[in-house]
Amino acid sequence: MSKPIVGVIGNMHETEGRHAGQRVGQRNLHAVATVANAMPVMFAGAPDITCTETLLEVVDGVLLTGAAPNVHPSHFGVDPHPSHEPYDENRDEIALNLTRACVERGVPIFGVCRGFQEMCVAFGSSLHPEIRDLPGRMNHRAPRLDSGERHPDPEVVFADRHDINLVPGGVFARLFGRETVRVNSLHGQGVAEAGDRILIEGVAEDGTVEAIRIADAPGFALGVQWHAEYDPQSNPINRALFQAFGEAISGYNRAR
């Protein structure tokens, strides 16, 4: 029996500073395959390669993954600054247009970290370029050694670091069966002002937006700021997200 297909967006990448390519972290692919019970297919985050119309004829859902580059600030009316680089404007173009198309057509879409930010920007939100610089906010970036180097142990990097308070009775609270969850944190940008169709359902202890859904979306359209793809095989919170995504894509596949 064939499985539903999930398109997983790729990221700009250079090998040895000269060989341009696209890549996807394997944990994203494994989360789709083992927890959402679908076949992951990578597509390029590049408008000269990827045709959104063709993609949506093939896939039963879309996963927008995390990535190092920030969403370019021109998409929410802010001037770019070298300190907030790198950017990946090709991925921006694909992801923002694809997000709106998925929501319009009811194609299940799930955004993680940068993908969460892309969903927010696609529907009119603005972003803080570096939320750790805001008064009263914690440093949401990945832990580092005293030397400044990123911590080498992924168990430390992806460890749960803060609580999220969920809207009582909301989609996420019902999904998790609780109103507070603890999650990992590896991001620099964060939501500043939410667009009209961005419904905030989860907020960190310091006020950072962490979980959203798109208002009036006919299909699954959720985003989380944390890296849910890291351990859904063992983490019940992240497993619940990918299982719900899997149910949505299976339903979409059967319906069409």
What is the C-alpha separation between 189 and 192, in angstroms, rounded?
9
| 59 inside domain | yes
SS3 of residue 42 by DSSP: strand
User: What six digits make up the tokens of 212?
Assistant: 């959203």
**pLDDT tens, 163-173?**
999 999 999 99
Burial of residue 89, with CB atoms counted within 10 A of its CB: 0-12 exposed, 13-18 middle, 19 or more buried: middle
| 156 inside domain | no
Residue 24: other Cβ atoms inside 10 A: 20
| 37 inside domain | yes
Q: Residue 187: its pLDDT value, please?
A: 81
| 12 inside domain | yes
pTM of the model: 0.94
| 165 inside domain | no
Q: Are strands 109-112 and 61-64 parallel, antiparallel or unpaired?
A: parallel
SS3 of residue 38 by DSSP: coil
Count of the separate structural domains present in the chain:
1
CATH of the domain at 204: 3.40.50.880
Q: Residue 122: its pLDDT value, please?
A: 97
Q: Residue 186: its pLDDT value, please?
A: 83
| 155 inside domain | no
Q: Residue 116: its pLDDT value, please?
A: 97
What is the C-alpha separation between 88 and 69, in angstroms, rounded?
6
Chain mean position to CA 79: 23
| 198 inside domain | yes
Q: Which domain holds residue 217?
A: 5-127+190-255
- Distances in Å between the Cα of 219 and the Cα atoms of 103, 122, 201, 214 are 7, 16, 17, 9
Q: Residue 230: its pLDDT value, please?
A: 94
User: What six digits make up the tokens of 128?
Assistant: 């803080």
**pLDDT tens, 37-92?**
999 999 999 999 999 999 999 999 999 999 888 898 999 888 888 877 888 999 99
Cis preceding linkage at 218, omega within 30 = no
| 169 inside domain | no
Q: pLDDT below 70 — which residues of the chain?
A: 14-16
Q: Residue 124: its pLDDT value, please?
A: 96
Q: Residue 96: its pLDDT value, please?
A: 97
Q: Are strands 209-214 and 198-204 parallel, antiparallel or unpaired?
A: antiparallel
Contact between 11 and 24 under an 8 Å Cβ cutoff? The reply is yes
Chain mean position to CA 176: 18
Q: Which amino acid is at 227?
A: H
User: What six digits make up the tokens of 62?
Assistant: 């879309």
Dmax over Cα atoms in the chain, in whole Å? 54
